[in-house]
Amino acid sequence: MPPPSELDDATLLALVQRGDEGAMASLFDRYSKVVYSVALRVLRDPASAEDVLQEIFMQIWRSPESFVATRGSLGGWLAVVSRNRSIDALRRKRPTESVEEMALASPYNLGDEAERNSMIEKARAVMVRLPLEQRKTLEMAFFDGLTHSEIAEMTGDPLGTVKTRIRSGLLSLRKAFQS
Amino acid sequence: MIPVKHIDPDDLPLYAMQLLPPEEMEELTSQLQHSPEGRKVLAEIYSDLAALAHTAEMHEPPAAARQRLMKHVAREKKAAPAGLLDKYAVPIDQYAPRVTTSSLLDEEPAPRSFGERVLPWAGWLIAAGVGAFAVMTYQENGELKQTVAQVKAQDAKALASADEASAVLSALRDPAAVHATLMLSTLASPPPPSGRVTYVPSKGSLLFVASNLTPLEPYKTYELWVIPVEGDPMPAGTFKPDEHGFASVVLPELPKGVAAKAFGVTVEDAGGSLTPTAPVILKGAAG
């Protein structure tokens, strides 16, 4: 059997289900940077970001079956969960989403470091090319957790424009990955 | 049949980001339960959000975070699932001592039970096990010591580099610092405003220093712009000159990987602007 660091996510999760601590460490090594970075971007506080990191990985340890690979890329999934948990922490709310409820139609294999890095570069390049208002609106919604009404109030843009900007920004991201 | 209300496609990204009011979240959740098409679109949106999340600047978590997690993990050790144990379990009767019958007239002694045969060796087996464990622990200890030494060396290097960077930053930002712009000693007229940018696109790192700037009204500010090869100018920080006309912008928040063709400085209302206002006071092409 290859070392845990070379195993795919599904196999590592299966090992975690059997109580394999080495597999858990490998998942941490693979995804902790993304989970922590997203939390830090939202919370802007290293200690709070680490709390989110610990909470998410302990959840994997306690119920790995909730993260089965058929729900899409584990890396992408963790990045979104990290954002949602961090926004909850910002709002001082209890975690809202149940892990079982979210499925990703992810075309990327984020378990592979090279693919993950290439996706990061691509996503950043797309974001930079977006019109400034669209990029700002998307970041305010995603990383700052501002509702469309709050964004409309802050920017003076109509509600409908804010909603459309968010959706079309995401579509631009998707198109860039499909091309 | 439950009537499926039309789902506004603009609402789904907000739903995925949990930004709708609670009652709308609930309503959409129940609509999605009856809409496979809606769930498919939602899965695609989650995937887009995953890509968006990866645009955050990447930072390594603190080194101690891994240790903390593994400590928690060890504290909540799991029992292997029952099925797994069953797979490797040996039926109990194979270990049970065999019952034999014999009479006092038997010439051969009664065969010893499994326990009787194994017990005398048990002590040796345990001692051998302990010995092997001690050797493994010794080796592991050696490896750990080596790792700790490597980490310490890396830490020392990182600390030295951080100290150096911090010294550079504080020198640039220190209001008590003395600034001088060196020019031809024969220059007759007062020196014109000028600025110098150092920009590393791959890291999004930028340093800007300007001199001989004219003072501004309190409600105005200078703003620095990065003009990318593609796309709109990006604001790179506002600044005001000191009484000697000197100003600097150090490491403003900029995305990584944006190639710049030029840089510019404009005068904007206090607080800065998202788009540059003419005229451009200072400009220069990226060389």
Residue B108 pLDDT greater than 60, yes or no: no
Environment class of residue A47 by beta-carbon count within 10 Å: exposed (0-12), middle (13-18) or buried (19+)?
Answer: exposed
Residue A66 pLDDT greater than 90, yes or no: no
Spatial neighbors of B211 by CB under 8 A, at least 6 apart, are: B179, B181, B191, B193, B194, B195, B244, B245, B246
Could you read off the pLDDT of A161-171 as tens digits, one per residue? Answer: 999 999 999 99
Q: For an interface test with B, which of A5, A170, A173, A174 has the most B Cβ atoms less than 10 Å from its Cβ?
A: A170
B174–chain A nearest CA distance, Å: 25
| B237 C-beta neighbours (distance < 10 Å), count | 20
Q: Minimal CA–CA distance to B55: which of A75, A77, A124?
A: A124
Spatial neighbors of B200 by CB under 8 A, at least 6 apart, are: B206
Q: To 5 degrees, how large is the angle CA A78–CA A80–CA A81?
A: 60
Could you read off the pLDDT of B154-172 as tens digits, one per residue? Answer: 766 676 667 667 667 666 6
Quote the CA–CA distance of A78 and A57 in Å, as a whole number: 9
ipTM score above 0.85: yes
B203 contacts in chain A (CB < 8 Å): none
Q: What are phi and psi of A6, to 5 degrees?
A: -100, 0
A53 contacts in chain B (CB < 8 Å): 61, 65, 69
Name the band, by pLDDT with cuts 50, 70 and 90, for residue B206. Answer: confident
Query: Does A63 contact chain B (CB < 8 Å)?
Result: no
Could you read off the pLDDT of B224-267 as tens digits, one per residue? Answer: 999 999 888 999 988 888 888 888 888 887 888 888 999 999 99
CB A167 within 8 A of CB B13: yes
Percent of all residues in chain A with a pLDDT value above 90, rounded to a whole number? 50
Quote the CA–CA distance of B234 and A8 in Å, as a whole number: 40
Could you read off the pLDDT of A89-100 as tens digits, one per residue? Answer: 888 755 555 544
Q: What are phi and psi of B101, to 5 degrees?
A: -110, 140
Q: What is the pLDDT of residue A101?
A: 59
Radius of gyration of chain A (CA): 17
Quote the CA–CA distance of A125 and B192 in Å, as a whole number: 37
